[in-house]
Chains A and B, each alone.
Chain A
Amino acid sequence: MSVASVPFSFGRLGLIAGNTFLEAVRQKLFLFLVLITLGLVLSVLFLLTFNFGSSELKFIADFGFGALTFFGSALTIATTAQLFFSEIENRTALTLLAKPIWRAEFVFGKFLGVFAVIGVFCALTIGTTIALLMVREGQILAAATDEFEARSLIAYGDLLVVGLLQWLKFGVLTAIVLLIASFSNTNLFTVVTGFFVLVICHLQYLARDQWSNVDNILLSGAVRALSFIFPNFQLFNLADEIGQGSGVSGEVALRVAGYGLVYIAVIGGLAVYSFRNREI
C-alpha cells in the first residue's frame, strides 16, 4: 500500500511553537521573573538619591542589561527544561509524537516557543530600560542647559541592537538546553548542566587567552578543543559599551548575529539528531 509522504511542515512547527509559548506565559515562573526583572530595573530610581548626574544613565543601562542577562539566562534555562520535560513527564509528548509529525518539528517548535517567550521578556526589560533612560535623560538635559557637556547621552539604536543580540544569545542557550534535554532523563539534570554550560560558554574566552601559555601540548590541545566546542557567549557582551557611551560597530553586530544564528541552527540540528535517537 502506498502512503503519501509527510513533508516537514512549518505549519505544524508553528502550532507546536504557539502551544509552547502559551504554556510558558501561563507559568508562574515566567511572571515571577518578569516582575523581579522589572523591579530590579525600576529600582535604579533609588539612584536619584545619590545625584549622579548624567552618569545615572550609565547605571540605568547597566542595571537594565545586567537584569536582562542574569534573569534572562535563568528564565531561558528553566523555561526550556520545564517545557520540554512537562511534555515528557506528562506524556503529552507521547500523544503528540504519535501523530504524523517529525521530531524536528517538535524540537524546533519547542525552540521557537521558548525563543518567543524570551523575546517577550527581552522586549519588556529593554523597553522598560529605554523608557527610564528617556525620561531621566530628558530631566537631566533640562536641568543642565548651562552645562557645556549637555547633549544626547544614549544611543538608543545601539541599545536595541545590543538587546537583539542578547536575545540571540538566549536563543543559542535555548538550543543548548534542548540539546541537553534531548538525552537527559530529568529536568533537574538539564537545568544544572545548562547552568554549567552557560558558565563555560561565558568563560571559554579565558581558556583561549591561556592556550598559548600552556607548555603541555596535550593540555594546550584540550583547551583549544574546548574553546571550539563551546560557543563564546562573551562575544555577545556588548552592553557595557553602551553604558560607556561608545557605539557598537555595525560589522561587529552583524558578525555576532551571524555567529548566533548559525549556532542556533547547528545546535538545534544536533538536538533533533539526539532526540531522534531518544526512546520515549
Chain B
Amino acid sequence: MKFDAAALRPFRTGLVVVLGLFVAGLALRPIEGPAWEEVRAKQPALRLDSLKDALGQGVTVGLLGGFRAIVADFIWIRTNSVWETYDLPKTQTSIKLVTAIDPRPLYFWLNGSRMIAYDMPNWRIDKAGGYDAVPESVKRRFDEEQSSVAIEYLEGGLGFHPEHPLLVLEIGNVHLNRLKDVETASRYYLRASQHPDAPYYAARIYAELLRRQERHAEAYAFLKALYPTLPKDNVMAQAAVVLERIRELEEELSIPEAERFKE
C-alpha cells in the first residue's frame, strides 16, 4: 500500500496546488472585484467577428490579451502609409479598423474623419481627371459622399464617447467646411458648447455662425448670456473678444444706449 501512496504523491501535490489556487482566487475576489469593474469599464468590447477576418486569429488573441492599444497604433501608422498612396478603399477600411480595435483615443476618430472628409474628395477628383476636367456638380457629389461617410464615422465615435464636444464639433466642421451648411453646422456648435468640457471657442463660433445666417438677435442674446459665464483671467475664454462682438451686434441691431449690455 505504501507504494501506491508514493505513486499517488504527484496527484496529491497537484490537487493541493489547484485547491490552493482556487481558494486564493475565491478569497481575493473582494479585493479584485471593484478594481476589475473599474478597469473593465474603461475597456470597450471588441467586435471580434469583423476583426478576426481583418487581422487573423493570432493578432485577435493579442488584442484580447491586452495589446489592443499598440496593435491599433501599428495599424494607424500603416493607415498613414496607405494614405500616402491615395488608395481610398484601403485607407478608409484601415481607418475604420483602427477604431474597431481601439475606439478609446479621440485622435483616431478626429484624424480618420478628416482624411475621409477632407482628403478623399480630392483623391476622387484627381482620379476622375483633375480639378479642371471634373465638373463642379461631380466635385460637389464627391464632397457630399465623403462628408456623409465621415459624419457617419464620427457618429460611431459618439457611441463610445457620448456627447464628446470635440467629436460634435468635428461633425459641425464637416457640415460647415465641406457641405457649406452653416445652419446645420451651427446646431452642432451649439450642441458642443453645451458640454461642460467644451472648449470656449465652440460658443464663440456658434454665435458667429448665427451672424452669418443673419440671426443677429439670436447671436446677441446668446453672447449676452455667455459673457457673464466666462472667466476674465483665462486667455482661452477670450472674454474681451466676446464683449467686442456684443458691441458690434449692438451697433448692427441699433440697440439703444440705455438697453445695451452692461459688464
Contact = CB atoms under 8 A, between A and B. Distances in A.
Chain A–chain B contact at Cβ < 8 A? yes
Interface of A: 47, 50, 52, 55, 58-59, 62-63, 65-66, 69-70, 148-149, 179, 183, 199, 202-203, 205-206, 225, 227-235, 237-241, 243-244, 246, 249, 251-252, 255-256, 258-259, 262-263, 266-267, 269-270, 273-274, 277
Residue from A229, A230, A234 whose CB has the most chain B CB atoms within 10 Å: A229
- Size band of the interface chain B makes with A: 35 or more
Interface SS majority for chain A: helix
A179 B17 contact: yes
24 contacts: A47-B77, A55-B105, A55-B111, A66-B73, A199-B61, A199-B65, A202-B64, A202-B65, A228-B22, A229-B21, A229-B22, A232-B36, A237-B43, A241-B42, A243-B69, A259-B28, A259-B31, A259-B32, A262-B31, A269-B20, A270-B16, A270-B17, A270-B20, A273-B17
Interface of B: 9-10, 13-14, 16-18, 20-22, 24-26, 28-29, 31-32, 34-36, 38-40, 42-43, 61, 64-70, 73, 77, 80, 102, 104-105, 107, 111, 199, 201, 236
Contact of A252 (B39, B64, B66, B236): B39
Contact of A237 (B9, B22, B66): B66
B106 to A, nearest CB: 8
B34 A273 contact: no
A228 B13 contact: no
Contacts of B17: 179, 270, 273-274
Contact of A235 (B25, B36, B69): B36
B105 A243 contact: yes
B104 to A, nearest CB: 5
B32 A232 contact: yes
Contacts, number: 128
A246 to B, nearest CB: 7
B39 A266 contact: no
Contacts of A251: 34-35
B59 to A, nearest CB: 13
Contact of B9 (A58, A240, A266, A277): A277
B105 A238 contact: no
Contacts of B24: 262-263, 266-267
Contacts of B66: 69, 202, 233-234, 237
Nearest to B84: A50
A228 B25 contact: yes
B13 A277 contact: yes
A154 to B, nearest CB: 14
Contacts of A256: 35
Nearest to A231: B25
Contact of B32 (A179, A237, A255): A255
A179 B13 CA distance: 11
Contacts of B43: 234, 237, 240
Given A203-B65, A234-B65, 12 more contacts: A59-B77, A62-B70, A62-B73, A63-B70, A66-B73, A205-B40, A230-B21, A237-B66, A243-B69, A262-B24, A266-B20, A270-B17
Q: Which 6 A-B pairs have the closest CB atoms?
A: A66-B70, A228-B25, A255-B35, A202-B65, A237-B66, A55-B107
Nearest to B9: A277
A163 to B, nearest CB: 15
A58 B111 CA distance: 14
A228 B26 CA distance: 6
A69 B78 CA distance: 22
Contacts of A149: 199
